[in-house]
Structure 1
């Protein structure tokens, strides 16, 4: 690979399109997640485990939105910054790692929501079924799955996740921003070492991809088990309300699968191919092309932070109810502000009628 910093040159797509996309994501994400946080924290008196998971997801999204301006600045001016400048070290050593770690926090939480939804299915199984094929499921639900539906356990789980991520990322941030700050062979912050990463970064990236596909497989398994159970239920004509519960559970898992498939699967598949191709190419044009594809796939993954408030509507009916009530109150307030003006406009007409008589 050509180690010259001149080999990597950002195109118009990187310097213009990506900053515009990130700016839109920032605006939508801050507004949507701020409203979501307000609803979860102050409008919902009784919080379920789903509310706990979604609240932590909102915090993760707001953190991503908070550092988006630095990402925008990097794509606009990264090829002008010195590699040993504090701005470059902050972006590469802290911001990028924070973005990636929050991505996997959200993936983990979405997986937990899918598990808690599947636990709802296990809860509403027919208690009269005592065949051996359900014994392991009852034990599994009673000892493991049931806990994912408990708000207190959800709090401990999310707290532990944040602690583990901070414990793992802090040494890496220090390593890249302090110890591994020598980039004397490059002239700008936007270079091959930054975009392709060193050996440790590549290994951690592959491990993270493996973690993602593991969680993705768990969600797929939950969907498969739920679908299989619904097929068996089709022969039972006395399912009543349980059928509605199962359909809601199925819808929630499908929503999570769609989010993971659209936002995260393309990026993680391409990342594996990217390391294989970028490390073995001597062609600067091909290297630039691969890096810009990686940047756009990463932007697609980050976009989930901004569209999550829409996902919350499908995952939690209480959130949906409070959000729609907020929208109705806002509409009513606007109408009440318009009514006095309308009344004043009609007053001269009402007063002029007696004068003519």
Structure 2
């Protein structure tokens, strides 16, 4: 959603994007599917994590934080769907535009930082177990870590909270929301470079490197361990998390950097590709419950208990129906 920088007139590529009905429909359908899966899967995950999972380990606290951001995205996406289906016309005002844009990007970068925190927690628990167990204030550290993540993300995204992100395109008679940014949103090109650097390098590349290091170290450690079940789960978790980074987050942030450089210094655009990659960045909110399944033994046990209860209740109901049929006959 980081849009084209504009002062007066838009380029033809940007105008063609706003007039491309097929692209708008594709993006809307993807958002609809993501919204449905997001709210169901993360609603169940939140219920399990808060009410059914004990004790509240640091990993569980991080997962609750991740689920919260995912559900916030799920509630914000319907507004984006309506915006797309109206032909990129925003009619809810500038404040609502800024708020929902902030929710959108906060979800992405809080998810990245939380995955990094989970990887660090697993790294300390497996690579340095003695030091890890001696830390008595682990829960407090996890809570402080979550608050720090939110503070860091909101600090980097602060310009989104203080700027009118709507832009009127008189030729098309539409008002866009964060698809076209005014050049005077930030005072200079240097300020734009710092803003983009913070989003791409501080909130994506650095967490990605830390997460990769932690999981590779865990895999190497467990490869020498006789606990094959633990090793397989750790390897699956590492592969899954790295796939989420690669598929959901990497294209979006790389294209954000490419588009920003092209727009700031060469007056060119890669916005069409960036807009499509943004859809796939939302898919992470549907995949996070699978991370919980691999990362938390408690979460797996509670989910399996629920599935067993449901299967048992289904079997009991079938037995009752069979008895009723025998009685009636």
Pair in the same fold by TM > 0.5: yes
CA apart distance, 1:337 = 3.0
CA apart distance, 1:56 = 0.6
Residue deviations 1:203-228, cap 9 Å, x none?
Answer: 42332110210111112222343455
Matches within 5 A, 1:62-101: 62-81=71-90, 85=91, 87-90=92-95, 92-101=97-106
SS at match of 1:190: strand
Contact kept, 8 Å, 1:50 with 1:149, in 2: the verdict is no
Contact kept, 8 Å, 1:29 with 1:65, in 2: the verdict is yes
Change over 3 Å in CA distance of 1:244–1:346 after alignment to 2 = closer
SS at match of 1:45: coil
Aligned position for 2:298: 318
Aligned position for 2:312: 332
CA apart distance, 1:69 = 0.7
| Larger Rg belongs to | 1
Matches within 5 A, 1:108-187: 108-124=113-129, 150-166=138-154, 169=157, 172-177=159-164, 183=168, 187=173
Distance in 1 between residues matched to 2:198 and 2:134, nearest whole Å: 29
CA apart distance, 1:37 = 0.6
Distance in 2 between residues matched to 1:115 and 1:256, nearest whole Å: 13
CA apart distance, 1:197 = 6.0
Aligned position for 1:302: 282
Aligned position for 2:3: none
CA apart distance, 1:281 = 4.5
Aligned position for 1:210: 201
* 1:39 counterpart = 2:48: yes
CA apart distance, 1:333 = 2.1
Distance in 1 between residues matched to 2:11 and 2:251, nearest whole Å: 28
Residue deviations 1:64-95, cap 9 Å, x none?
Answer: 111111111111115344xxx5x152454221
Change over 3 Å in CA distance of 1:312–1:225 after alignment to 2 = closer
Residue deviations 1:82-113, cap 9 Å, x none?
Answer: xxx5x152454221222112211110110011
Distance in 2 between residues matched to 1:61 and 1:309, nearest whole Å: 10
Residue deviations 1:157-210, cap 9 Å, x none?
Answer: 1133334445665x5344223xx767587742238x734664649542332110
More strand by share: 2
Aligned alpha-carbon RMSD (Å): 3.2
Change over 3 Å in CA distance of 1:27–1:110 after alignment to 2 = same
Q: 1:60 aligns with which of 69, 83, 86?
A: 69
Q: Which shows bigger deviation, 205-214 or 2-11?
A: 2-11
Distance in 1 between residues matched to 2:30 and 2:166, nearest whole Å: 30
Q: Which shows bigger deviation, 71-80 or 20-29?
A: 71-80
SS at match of 1:176: coil
CA apart distance, 1:321 = 1.4
Matched residues, number = 311
Residue deviations 1:238-283, cap 9 Å, x none?
Answer: x545x7655544443333222211211111111111123345346x
